[in-house]
């Protein structure tokens, strides 16, 4: 595999969906929709929105899962951000009982438009940790290690001065590795 850097695969910041931390959930969804329309159709569409502060500095991100969880705030009473009940050995039946016990989605999507216009991104955005940043000149091996070890869907890419210049998505990294593997001329495995 030729030597690739993060910069070779990242999506430049200018091509990624972004919103202010003061934006509403509705505005975040609209930014994601616009990014889907404008983005190169030969690549996978975006699944997150980057969030900037009043100084236009990237301070967080909002994933599709974050948006769904924000629409039902009772999830916050059940687990810490990022925790999955299945990690702790709780099966589907237990999770279903929580749906009933906490009355999750008891008003299924009836008020979704109202909620989307009232909830602000800053109240549910995810603030990336130190292990979720990678330099644009880093090798792909370093980025893959961070993605795998951190179970991340993406890494925020910074230049040498620390300015955010893009995002490296797991899907793009996987496709680069996938293409390399499929180009191998190995005989059929017996």
- Flag whether 190 is in a domain: no
Residue with tokens 């951000």: 81
Q: What is the pLDDT of residue 114?
A: 81
Q: What is the pLDDT of residue 98?
A: 57
Total domains present in the chain: 1
At 92-121, the pLDDT tens digits run 566 556 555 555 555 556 677 887 889 899
- Flag whether 166 is in a domain: yes
The CATH number covering residue 72 comes to 3.10.580.10
At 141-152, the pLDDT tens digits run 999 999 999 999
The mean-pLDDT minimum among 42-56, 66-80, 118-132, 165-179 falls in: 66-80
Q: What is the pLDDT of residue 183?
A: 87
- Which pair of structure tokens corresponds to residue 49? 């929105």
- Give the containing element (helix H, strand E) for 61: strand 58-63
Instruction: For residue 155, list its beta bridge partners.
Output: 168
Q: From CA 6, how far away is CA 53, in angstroms rounded?
A: 25
- Flag whether 119 is in a domain: yes
Cα 132-133-137 angle, rounded to 5 deg: 140
Q: Kindly state the greatest CA–CA separation across the chain.
A: 59
- Flag whether 189 is in a domain: no
- For 30-39, the CB contacts below 8 A with 24+ separation are 39/15
SS3 157: strand
Report, as an integer, the average pLDDT of 158-187: 91
- Flag whether 163 is in a domain: yes
**Taking all residues of the chain, what is their mean pLDDT, rounded to a whole number?**
82
At 17-57, the pLDDT tens digits run 999 999 999 999 999 998 878 876 667 777 899 999 999 99
- Enter the pTM of the model: 0.77
Q: List Cβ neighbours of 144 (8 Å cut-off, separation of 6 or more).
A: 173, 177
Q: What is the pLDDT of residue 96?
A: 56
Q: List Cβ neighbours of 189 (8 Å cut-off, separation of 6 or more).
A: none
Q: 141: domain range? A: 6-81+91-182
- Residue 82 clears pLDDT 50, i.e. is over it: no
Q: What is the pLDDT of residue 81?
A: 47
Q: What is the pLDDT of residue 22?
A: 97
Can you count the helices (H) and strands (E) in the chain?
8, 7
SS3 177: helix
- Flag whether 86 is in a domain: no
Query: Helices 140-150 and 170-182, interaxial angle, to 10°?
Result: 120
Q: What is the pLDDT of residue 69?
A: 83
- Flag whether 188 is in a domain: no
Q: List Cβ neighbours of 14 (8 Å cut-off, separation of 6 or more).
A: none
- Flag whether 37 is in a domain: yes
């Amino acid at each position: 595999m030729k030597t690739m850097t993060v910069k070779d695969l990242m999506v430049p910041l200018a091509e990624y969906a972004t919103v202010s931390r003061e934006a509403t959930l509705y505005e975040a969804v609209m930014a994601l929709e616009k990014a889907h329309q404008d983005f190169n159709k030969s690549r996978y569409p975006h699944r997150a929105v980057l969030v900037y502060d009043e100084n236009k500095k990237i301070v967080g991100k909002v994933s599709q899962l974050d948006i769904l969880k924000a629409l039902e705030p009772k999830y916050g009473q059940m687990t810490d951000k990022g925790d999955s009940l299945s990690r702790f050995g709780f099966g589907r039946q237990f999770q279903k009982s929580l749906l009933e016990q906490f009355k999750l989605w008891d008003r299924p999507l009836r008020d979704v438009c109202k909620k989307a216009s009232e909830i602000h991104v800053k109240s549910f955005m995810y603030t990336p940790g130190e292990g979720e940043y990678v330099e644009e000149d880093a090798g792909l091996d370093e980025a893959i290690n961070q993605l795998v070890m951190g179970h991340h869907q993406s890494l925020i890419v910074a230049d040498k001065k620390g300015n955010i210049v893009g995002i490296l998505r797991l899907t793009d990294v996987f496709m680069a590795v996938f293409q390399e593997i499929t180009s191998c001329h190995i005989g059929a495995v017996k």
